[in-house]
Each structure stands twice: as structure tokens, then as C-alpha cells.
Amino acid sequence: MKLQAVLAKTALFSAAVAKASQNTTLAQSGLPVIEVVGNKFFDSRSGEQFFIKGIAYQPSSAPQELEVGYPADTKYIDPLAEVEICKRDLPYLKKLGVNTIRVYSIDPTKPHDVCMEELSKLGIYVLIDLSEPDTSIIRETPTWDVKVFQRYKDVVDSMQKYNNVLGFFAGNEVTNDRTNTDASPFVKAAIRDVKNYIKQMGYRTLPVGYSTNDDQETRDHLADYFVCGSVSADFYGINMYEWCGHSSYGTSGYRERTNEFRNFPVPVFFSEFGCNTIRPRPFTEIQALYGTMMTPVWSGGLAYMYFEEDNEYGVVKVTKDNQVLELPDFRNLQKEFEKARPKGVKRSVYEKTYKVNSRTCPEKSATWKASEELPPTPDARKCGCLEQALPCLSLSLQDPMSYKNYFEYVCGFVNCMDINGDGSLGVYGEYSDCDTRQKLSLQLSKLYLRRKISKNECPIASNDFFFNAKSIGIPQQCQGVMEDVKVQANKKLVEPKPAAPAGKDVNAAGSSALHRLNTATLVLVSTTAFIFHLLL
């Protein structure tokens, strides 16, 4: 049961008013905004076409690389918030001649003014991934939920004020082969909702796109999928490693990719490039990428990457005493970027001749399973009502295996279809947009209600769960949600269907995760090794 739409609209309006003071874009030395028109980027002031000449820029969070003062469990370092790191590297970014950097994770709770201002003075724009290591759309178990959406909104809120934010990536290689194409609807829903959020908040038009890999079986379908229908990415990046060493336009695969993306409806560029099978890398692909054969189609690219790590893709190495050493790759990249002089088209000329080129959504096949039906926009108010109305709540569990084991147990007694999301069938449960902890609390509470337990005790004796005293007096705005939960609690279990005959396709969304247990006591041994009992 959905909450009243008016409540959601009221909350959004209130948030917009609260953030109104943040909506003023920082002038930052007068650096002009880069805008998307058709399938190209343009300088909003000069009208000249903008080509990305960039590099991926994210320091390692490996324990041996962490600066003093970082917690041992640090998952990433935000280089735009660390003034010392940023200022240390600025001269080298300038020397490389880049006009764009890509940052894969930022901390939206930290200030970024100093670094963004310094980058702006150098004429450097920033492409930012919205995710971070612990909060993203995971290809094996994709979900578009309130926690991930809030993370994405927080990043947008913290970075939208900077002129030199070129755009945001809503995902990076989430679908990377034929086995996980069902994850793409969740990323496309993220693009839809982040774009709508930017518009609703009154921010300037900030492009939201996607970064894909170059998988032979899925690349054509992926490209079409993210620009077809009513929801489209604003730009499309490809992590491209086909050109190795001294290859050529004809033998590398660049010619084929260029022909495939000719007349693509949005800007397309290399979100990563720089095959390292031969080192030092000569970066001769830059001559082709910014030459006359490719610039009518491609908007440049970003070399991977600035920092040298174990994967050996860096152009500099940072020593333990914080000194930056230029590697041979650095000098080669600098030389090739310096020679690159791409010739584009003026916006005024382009707008007169450009025709919109739409793409048809790919049909389902053995290598493509993604549905055109997207997950709903995560409803924070509805999921928040679960916190207030459910009788049993879960704490945040640190070990993902704990969630998995609890779900497997509880879903043997209650119907868990209301939290399932299936990107191949395009079927999404009523509470599939809530976060993992809320979903577990929901299923545990359904078991509590199903067994009509009169005590103020949850049906699993564990320190991971507690009885929610607030549920005794449910707020009026959450009563509808609780009525729906009671209905869901009494639904019949969905038994796994028999295996389909060879060559047959059986639609059994989520059924493989649901099974009955023959005992009321379950001993689970996992990395956290816990034992719990069903209370009779």
C-alpha cells in the first residue's frame, strides 16, 4: 500500500526550500559550465565543442597506502576533500594537460571548496561516480533502494554548486556480461530518479550517465538500453582497453566501435582507456581518439589512471614520504595529450543541423534479459514507516552473510515476495525499495504476526533483533503501511517450482530463494558463527 502522494510531494518541497541557499553555483574563477546538446558537449560561454582530455583520479585505500589518521577500516579516500593530497597533485595534473578528472567515490559530508576551486583555476572539470564501495548497485544482487538513493542524493547535494562538475555516473560496469543483464533496470531507474531529483531541487541541469565495459556479447544491447524509451542516460562512457601498445585505428577495434556509435543520441566517450600489456604505455591511441576519424563520434576520454598501484595502471608513484615520482607512462601521456588538437563544431552550427536519433530497446534473448519495466522510485516515507510500525526490528549487521542466513531462515516461514525485485521480469515487490535492514525487520515482523505471539518478544532470540515499543502506538500516517504488512504476513508461501524441461523458460521470480525448513531450530555456521532458536 502506497503512502499518500501528497505527503511525498510536501516533503520534497520542504527539502527544496531548506536547500535553496545552496543552489547558487559557485563562479570559481569564471569557469563556464559544460552543457549537453544532442550527442556533444559544449562550452556554455564560447559555444565551442568540449572534448574530454582526462585521467581517473582516486588514491588507493589499501592499508599500506593510507595516510596517518585514517581509520583502519577506511574503504576509500576522497581526494577532493583532502586538501594536502589535492594540492600535492595539482601541478602534475596541470603538467599532464588534462581538462577533466574522474573520481570514483567522494565523501558528501566533507567540504570540497578548496580543491574544486583550485581545479577550476586550472580549467579542470570533474566527473563523479555517485556510489561508494559499501553503497552501490551490486550486479549479483541488484537493488534500487532508499539507502542507495539517499547516498546518490547526498553526493548531488554536496557537489551541484560547483561549475566544474561535468556530470555524475550512476553506475560503473554494473552489467559486465550476459549473466547479469538483469541488473541494468536498477541502474536505469537510478538515472531516472537522480535526474528528477536534480530538477525538483532546482539545481542547474547536471548530466547523469553510465560507464560500461566493452563486453562483446552485451555492449550493443547495453548501449541501446540506456538511451531507449522515456528514460535515457545523458551521456555514455565506455571503459575501453582494445588498443594495446602501437596498435592502429583499423586493427584495434576502434573503427568498428566508431561505426557502431555513429549518430548515438547522447555524448559518448572513453570513461577509461589505457591497455597496459605493454609498459611503458605509449598512449598512441590518443592520436586516433582526437583525430578526424573519431571526433565526429567520440567526445574524448580519460586515461586510467593517475596513481600507480598493484594493477600497474598508474602514471605517477607516491612515495611513503609523500613525494610524487613521474613514471615513463606520465611523460608519454603528457606528450600525446599535448599533441591532441581535436576539431569540433560550433554549437550554433550544430543546433541547426542536428537531428534526434532514437534507439529501440533491445529485445530479450539468450544474452539479454533486462526488462524495460524499471523499479519504482524508492519511497523513504513508506520505508520509514516500517521503522515506526513494525513490532520487531533488526540492528545493522556488519557481516553480509548474517543477512543472507537470516533471510534464508525467515523466508522459510513467511512469503518474502514483497521484498524481491526481478530485473528480468520487471516485477518489484512493494517493499523491494527499502534497505536490507528494513527488509529483514519486515520479514521478522511478519513471522511475529503470523504466529500471533502475544509477548513483546521477537520470534528469533538474538541480540541482532529487538521488540519495537513504538509499534504499540502506530502514527496515523503509517497505519496504512501496517495494515498492508498484516495482509502480507498471512500470505501463503511460494514453493519452489520444479525444474523446467530442457529448452523451456519458466517464470519463477524469487522462488529459488524461498524454501521451507523442516525444523524450528536452525544452527547456522558462518563467518560470524551464530546460533538462534525459533520461539514457540
Total residue length of the chain: 536
Please pick, among 173, 285, 308, 336, the residue that the annotation labels catalytic.
173
419, 431 Cβ separation under 8 angstroms: yes
- Give the pairing of strands 392-394 and 298-303: unpaired
Active site residue 372: no
243, 284 Cβ separation under 8 angstroms: yes
CA distance linking residue 43 with residue 312, whole number of Å: 34
Q: What is the DSSP letter of 237?
A: E
CA distance linking residue 413 with residue 516, whole number of Å: 6
Closest CA to 167 of 134, 196, 210: 210
The most distant pair of C-alpha atoms in the chain lies apart, rounded to whole Å, by 77
**Angle at the Cα of 260 (from 257 to 261), degrees rounded to 5?**
90
Closest CA to 165 of 128, 132, 190: 128
**Angle at the Cα of 375 (from 373 to 378), degrees rounded to 5?**
155
Give SS3 for 210. strand
- Give the pairing of strands 125-129 and 100-103: parallel
Please pick, among 65, 118, 242, 272, the residue that the annotation labels catalytic.
272
Residues contacting residue 153 through CB under 8 Å, at least 6 positions apart: 194, 197
Backbone region of residue 28 per phi and psi (left: phi > 0; alpha: psi in -120 to 50; beta: other values): left
**Between the CA of residue 344 and those of 21, 52, 209, 257, 265, what are the distances in Å?**
37, 12, 22, 19, 17
Active site residue 173: yes
Closest CA to 74 of 101, 110, 42: 110
Listing DSSP states for 498-510 in one string gives PPPPTT-----TT
CA distance linking residue 298 with residue 433, whole number of Å: 36
Closest CA to 436 of 410, 463, 468, 475: 410
* Residues acting as catalytic residues: 173, 272
